[in-house]
Amino acid sequence: MRLSPSDRGATISENGSVSALRIVFAGSPMAAVPSLDALIESRHEVVAVVSREDSPVGRKRVLTPTPVAARAADAGIDRILADRLTPDVGEQIAALTPDLGVIVAYGGLVREPLLSAPRLGWINLHFSLLPRWRGAAPVQHAIMAGDERTGVNVFQLVPELDAGPVFAERAEPIGRFQTSGALLERLAVLGATTLVDVVDALADGTAVAVEQTGTPTLAPKLNSADGVISWQEEAIMIDRRIRAVTPEPGASTTLDGERFKVLAAAIAHHEAPMAPGSVAASAGRILVGTADTPLELLRVQPAGKSAMDAAAWWRGRQSSESTVLA
């Protein structure tokens, strides 16, 4: 699949060179900010940014803009704030006569007629190597599945979820101790440069997209239930789960009926097996039994309290309290 300026109407100057594309950018979380920054710094013009509406944040529930909306405001770019791409939003975007729509983790689906409104359609930066991990949580699912590598794809948006032909793909190894949050930060930077390369190629008429091949796997959004630890599992599976759901939605377990978060842990390879869920302090380390090798708790956050070292948390408990996690 090849898109050229002459075929799809990108603006061409009188001397035949391709001028900057008019871009509408749709995104919301921090992972989309590097892409927005890269486009702002490119030769192209971001004519508007679409982002989700302000939402309450923190214990005081203060209405706060998304990171993308805040960055657009700082850059003086017009914003369209909407949780869904309704017909009204579509009309606002179409009135801007964009050459291209770019979407990075906006959090909503683009449907017709908006899908065809930009002259070059829409492209999407996705944080996986498609067709593996189509969906809202590709980074988390890659870590939870034990994948050794992932990457970024820039593809042409089509009605089917994350199924469009791919313009560019770049791979990235997954670190043995990496959380989804840390990996996503790396992919966001890698994806930003990849995205601008594709936008430049679209403007120049040299972009070529290749249909996806292979069996798709799905990566639906995770919720708090996906972060609940089962100490009956093997240590490597628990370790993957903790890293996959950190920082969101977070890993958790319960002790004496109270839920608390496990922020960081490590497999204690050289320790003797312990009963699943049993807790013991050993040389200042807090160990928990699994189906095989114990897991060392490093950082925890009890309900209603700040994050703390696991050893400090354990020392603060009463000796008569339970020593089995559920």
pLDDT bracket for residue 6 (50, 70, 90):
very low
pLDDT at 256: 82
Task: Spell 198-208 as b/e; 16+ CB within 10 A means b.
Answer: bbbbbbebebe
Q: DSSP string covering 185-228, please?
A: HHHHHHHHHHHHHHHHHHHHT--B-B---S---B-PPP-GGGGB
Over residues 157-168, mean pLDDT: 97
Over residues 150-162, mean pLDDT: 97
Res 12 pLDDT > 60 = no
Whole-number average pLDDT of the chain: 92
> pLDDT tens digit string along 93-138?
999 999 999 999 998 889 999 999 999 999 999 999 999 999 999 9
pLDDT > 90: percent of the chain: 83
> pLDDT tens digit string along 81-104?
999 999 999 999 999 999 999 999
Res 172 pLDDT > 90 = yes
pLDDT at 32: 98
pLDDT bracket for residue 14 (50, 70, 90):
very low
pLDDT bracket for residue 260 (50, 70, 90):
very high
Superfamily of domain covering 224-315: Formyl transferase, C-terminal domain (3.10.25.10)
3-state secondary structure of 157: coil
pLDDT at 90: 96
- Positive or negative, the Cα torsion across 165, 169, 173, 175? negative
> What's the CA gap between 313 and 142, in Å, rounded?
31
Over residues 213-227, mean pLDDT: 97
Radius of gyration from C-alpha coordinates of the chain:
23
- 168 exposed, middle or buried (CB, 10 Å; 0-12, 13-18, 19+)? buried
pLDDT at 247: 97
Res 51 pLDDT > 60 = yes
Cβ atoms < 10 Å from Cβ of 159: 11
At residue 250, φ and ψ (nearest 5 deg) are 100, 140
262, 239 Cβ separation under 8 angstroms: no
> pLDDT tens digit string along 230-258?
999 999 999 999 999 999 999 999 988 88
Query: What is the token pair recorded at 286?
Result: 């807090």
The residue ranges of every structural domain in the chain are 5-204, 224-315
> What's the CA gap between 240 and 252, in Å, rounded?
13
pLDDT bracket for residue 7 (50, 70, 90):
very low
> pLDDT tens digit string along 284-307?
899 999 999 999 999 999 988 999
Query: What is the token pair recorded at 100?
Result: 């291209």
pLDDT at 18: 56
CATH fit for domain 5-204, picks 3.40.50.170, 3.30.590.10, 3.40.50.1000, 3.30.750.24: 3.40.50.170
pLDDT at 15: 40
Res 5 pLDDT > 60 = no
pLDDT > 70: percent of the chain: 93
pLDDT at 134: 98
- Positive or negative, the Cα torsion across 200, 202, 207, 211? positive
Same fold: 5-204 with 224-315? no
> What's the CA gap between 286 and 313, in Å, rounded?
10
pLDDT at 325: 82
What are 297's strand-pairing partners? Answer: 265, 286
Over residues 56-63, mean pLDDT: 83
